[in-house]
Amino acid sequence: MRRFYVNPFEAGGRWFKGNVHTHSSGSDGTRTPEQLVSMYLGAGYDFLSITDHSVVTDVGGVDGRGLLLIPGEELCVGRSHAGTHYHLVGVGIQETLPFRDFDYGTDPQRVVDEINGLGGVSVLAHPYWSGLSHNDAMAVDALCGVEIYNTSCDYERNTGLSASHVDGLIAAGRRPLIFAVDDHHGADRPTMPVDACGAWIMVRAPSLDEPDILAAIRGGLFYSSTGPQIRGIAVDGEGVIHVECSPARTVSFISTPSLGMKFHAGGRPLTSASYPGRPGEKYVRIEVTDFEGRSAWSNPIYNE
């Protein structure tokens, strides 16, 4: 068996931390782009994509003070089996998408094709929160990725984790990249923390230039996290997958339905795990969870 994995841990360059789903006062966010810059810089981020609803907010005149600002947009279209919209995010597009927001009549495929055609990264946002089944998600082809975790949906509704949607898609033959994002809006409520700086991607790229970051994201050279670090992933000559990570309660190798394996910490935290795989698996993805319940997610490793 041959495994196929675009391995960020074997790529040159440096690590850059970023969030690719954020709202500003350009739509329904409470913070201006300048305020977002201060908040994300303060939390050690390297880049941020402002993805306002139905408009590409112009970030050209905003002083990032070292934070790379990437333009983007979120659009809500189509109709799921539950009667809800698909929310689609385009990261790295320069112009507002030519569709009406909240239009049941617009095929989400047209939006994905438009984002891809503009050179953007197309991501299906928060499928669990949206009420999509993975069959709804299967109706859209050529998606670059899917949000496996969304801070805002988690904090507000406890529907931030879309792992089963991701695995349903992959088990059915799609190859999405896996994103953890904030979807920051900033509604400051006494009952919930601010939905910022809670989830991110760690991208391996040669530089913090926008083309390098977008190419690395599009190529899958990243992992996602809400806390833990993945410090290394390697596939040896026998096809055994080795992972190293910050101290963890569990390390899971999630795979084709009914296969895969979960490792639990014994007397001391896990900082590594190795998994040889099992017959019949089509893919394996790694999920590391720490003692606070925070997780990190690799992109999938495919068997070929």
Residues that bind Zn ion (CB under 5 A): 74, 87, 125, 183
The residue whose Cβ lies closest to Zn ion is: 87
Interatomic CA distance for residues 52 and 50, integer angstroms: 6
Decide whether 46 or 74 has the Cβ nearer to Zn ion. 74
SS3 for 119-139, per residue?
A: CCEEEECCHHHHCCCHHHHHC
Minimum CB distance to Zn ion, residue 1 (Å): 38
Looking at the Cβ atoms of 50 and 125, the one nearer to Zn ion is 125
Nearest approach, Cβ of residue 88 and Zn ion (Å): 9
Q: How far apart are CA 217 and CA 277, in angstroms?
A: 27
CB of 5 to Zn ion, least distance (A): 29
Q: 115 with 122: CB under 8 angstroms?
A: yes
SS (H, E, C) 16-58: EEEECCECCCCCCCCCCHHHHHHHHHHCCCCEEEEEEECCCCC
Minimal distance, residue 30 CB to Zn ion, in Å: 13
Beta partners for residue 295, in sequence order: 289
Nearest distance from C-beta of residue 112 to Zn ion, angstroms: 15
Pick the closer one to Zn ion by CB: 73 or 244: 73
Nearer to Zn ion, 74 or 244 (CB): 74
- In the bound state with Zn ion, the residue whose beta carbon lies nearer, of 21 and 285, is 21
DSSP reduced 3-state for 70: strand
Q: Do 199 and 150 form a contact (C-beta atoms < 8 A)?
A: yes
